[in-house]
């Protein structure tokens, strides 16, 4: 099973077609809130359901706050979001520019993440600044991290999935892996005998750090306000932190 980020990245997804808002009243009348999620992307979501993934668990909590049930719309790519007719996606980058072509409306952010370095426990690397022309770093193909690290003349190995990069790191094929703390934390949870050390993110690299929010496909103002209020309650009572912690992820406060 691959760890991927199909719904986190603000990529071009071409959400064309009518943009009729789905009102809070319509969702409550139908009794369901639709969540678009990838069917095979633990720790984010899994159609197999054991475990279901933190997106599914948080989606259920949000639906409960709205007084409705959760409907799961399984999609492989974001291009399928419109035809799936869902209302929300989770773990999207909380940046209007990044989401510009997705046309997603974003909630208030509920945690902060980005790209960190995962290294072997015995590594002397301490940060992105300690990388040099003798350290080989695993990066995702086409990622911003790949571009930034390559510009520093640091050798890289390209991988399609974060989990492949982490496997290569644990097999001593590379010196570090540029991955999200989420992917590295879940790798450690599920591979305790091969656990890696996760270095702190470098906040001086703005493009490698971002807040995360709920993406709403066609909300009216009432739905946006209801999602924001639900997130605030779920953060205050610890539900969001506990949900991600079950997958090994310790959330950072958004900035």
For residues 110 and 231, the answer to whether their CB atoms sit within 8 Å is yes
Percent of the chain with pLDDT over 70: 91
Please, are residues 190 and 184 in contact by the beta-carbon 8 Å criterion?
no
Q: What angle do CA 210, 103, 222 make, to 5 degrees?
A: 90
- Rounded to an integer, what distance in angstroms lies between the CA atom of residue 150 and that of residue 199? 19
Round to whole Å and give the CA distance between 222 and 229. Answer: 10
Quote the pLDDT of residue 96. Answer: 76
Q: Is the pLDDT of residue 133 over 80?
A: yes
Residues 6+ apart with CB under 8 A from 110: 212, 213, 214, 231, 235, 240, 251, 254
pLDDT exceeds cutoff 90 at 4: no
Q: pTM value?
A: 0.88
- Nearest alpha carbon to residue 249 among 145, 111, 126, 143: 111
Q: What is the mean pLDDT of the chain?
A: 90
Number of neighbouring beta carbons within 10 Å of residue 23: 15
Q: Quick one: pLDDT band at residue 253, thresholds 50, 70, 90?
A: very high
Q: What is the pLDDT of residue 12?
A: 34
């Amino acid at each position: 099973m691959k760890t991927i980020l199909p719904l986190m990245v603000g990529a071009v997804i071409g959400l064309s077609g009518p943009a009729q808002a789905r009102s809070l009243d319509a969702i409550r009348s139908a009794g369901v809130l639709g969540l678009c999620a990838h069917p095979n992307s633990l720790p984010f979501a899994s159609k197999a359901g054991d475990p279901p993934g933190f997106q599914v668990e948080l989606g259920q909590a949000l639906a409960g706050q709205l007084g409705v049930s959760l409907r799961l719309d399984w999609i492989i790519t974001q291009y399928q979001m419109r035809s799936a007719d869902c209302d929300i996606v989770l773990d999207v980058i909380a940046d209007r520019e990044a989401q510009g072509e997705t046309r997603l409306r974003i909630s208030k952010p509920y945690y902060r993440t980005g790209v960190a370095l995962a290294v072997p426990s015995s590594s002397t690397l301490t940060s992105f600044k300690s990388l040099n022309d003798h350290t080989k770093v695993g990066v995702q193909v086409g990622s911003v991290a790949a571009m930034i690290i390559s510009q520093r003349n640091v050798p890289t190995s390209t991988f399609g999935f974060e989990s492949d990069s982490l496997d290569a790191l644990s097999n001593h094929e590379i010196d570090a892996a540029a991955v999200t703390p989420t992917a590295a934390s879940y790798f450690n949870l599920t591979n305790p005998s091969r656990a890696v050390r996760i270095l702190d993110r470098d906040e001086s690299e703005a493009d490698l750090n971002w807040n995360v929010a709920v993406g709403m496909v066609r909300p009216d103002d009432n739905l946006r306000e209801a999602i924001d209020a639900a997130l605030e309650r779920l953060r205050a009572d610890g539900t969001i932190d506990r949900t991600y912690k079950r997958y090994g992820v310790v959330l950072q406060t958004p900035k």
